[in-house]
Amino acid sequence: MRRLPWSLSLSLLCLACAPTQRQTPDAGTPEVKPQRLVAHIVHTYPHDPTAFTQGLQFHQGQLYESTGEKGDLRRISLEQAAPLWKQPMPDVFPEGLASDGQRLYQLTWQDETLFVWNGAPPAQEKQVEYDGEGWGLCYWQGQLVRSDGTSTLRFHDPKDFHVKSQVQVMLQGVPQEMLNELECAEDGVYANVWHSNNILKIDYATGRVLAVIDASALAQAVRGRVRSYEAVLNGIALEPGTGRLFLTGKLWPDLFEVTLVGPA
Ligand code: DDQ
Ligand code: CA
């Protein structure tokens, strides 16, 4: 057999193992302007001001939250701040939370462990190890989308959590770092930007920022009622069926239903 050039044979070898870097030519084009949207508060609900929110997720008709620091997995409601159910997780720092309809998947910040939950109330089914940091997580079309504080989103196989592909998130040619809590919508993935009042809506295929959502009205609404420097906007949940959008923050006393409004 004719020998393949070294670089070509290497890339053939790795076709099965290396994640695909996806990007189309328009992904970083500076002239493609994102939409500018503003989050308006529709309703204000109570939220546990001791919950260090890292993930907010509807699952089987219920609202769940993953909290970091001295964290847990908890089921919450719109009626009261206190959780309806919780499972403390004292040995790890829990992060993003996703649902495939059957299971809950929960990241950890630097513990390199994914927790998989099944049943109601959720029981731990398994733990899966992975490389790197875990920030945000959501589920879309058979894949788990993970952020890790960089500008890269990784697409994992839910079965063994191996990385299948990745995209870099770009806004008019500039990489967007510090992507935190995620929410998978049909037409894009919403991402909180850590320590900012902006939420980005990102195209799955290209990583291009489709919209920049200004959620500063929410931070304004909790001003004076939060103390910690780390009490920042984080937590996005879309309610299946109704499409209602809920946002909160770490250590915030409120959870908001919002609508997104474009320029007049
Ligand atoms: N992360 O969510 C950005 C991934 C990690 C945030 C860690 C913030 C510092 C933890 C210390 C808590 C102080 C209230
Ligand atoms: Ca979420």
CA–CA gap between residue 226 and residue 221 (Å, rounded): 10
Residue among 70, 178, 194, 248 to mutate when testing ligand 1 (max atoms within 8 A of CB):
194
Neighbours of 210 (CB within 10 A): 17
Atom of ligand 1 nearest to the CA of 228: 14
- Phi-psi region at 206: left, alpha or beta (left = phi > 0; alpha = psi -120 to 50): alpha
| ipTM for the assembly | 0.92
In this prediction the pTM is 0.91
The whole-number pLDDT of residue 26 equals 53
Decide: 247 and 236 in contact? Cβ < 8 Å.
Answer: yes
59 backbone dihedrals φ, ψ, rounded to 5°: -150, 120
For residue 246, give the nearest of 39, 38, 35 by alpha carbon. 39
Decide: 76 and 63 in contact? Cβ < 8 Å.
Answer: yes
Decide: 263 and 36 in contact? Cβ < 8 Å.
Answer: yes
**What is the distance in A from the centroid of ligand 2 to the CA of 51?**
15
Decide: 213 and 38 in contact? Cβ < 8 Å.
Answer: yes
Residue among 52, 181, 229 to mutate when testing ligand 1 (max atoms within 8 A of CB):
52
The H or E element containing residue 218 is helix 216-222
**What is the distance in A from the centroid of ligand 1 to the CA of 95?**
10
- Token pair 């209602």 is found at 244
Residue with CA at minimum distance from ligand 1 atom 5: 109
Q: Output DSSP code: residue 208.
A: B
For residue 96, give the nearest of 252, 256, 235, 257 by alpha carbon. 235
**What is the distance in A from the centroid of ligand 2 to the CA of 7?**
40
The whole-number pLDDT of residue 19 equals 79
Q: Output DSSP code: residue 11.
A: H
In tens digits, the chain (264 residues) has pLDDT values of 344 343 444 444 444 457 787 655 555 556 679 999 999 999 999 999 999 999 999 999 999 999 999 899 999 999 999 999 999 999 999 999 999 999 999 999 999 999 999 999 999 999 999 999 999 999 999 999 999 999 999 999 999 999 999 999 999 999 999 999 999 999 999 999 999 999 999 999 999 999 999 999 999 999 999 999 999 999 999 999 999 999 999 999 999 999 999 977
SS3 237: strand
- Phi-psi region at 199: left, alpha or beta (left = phi > 0; alpha = psi -120 to 50): beta
The whole-number pLDDT of residue 22 equals 67
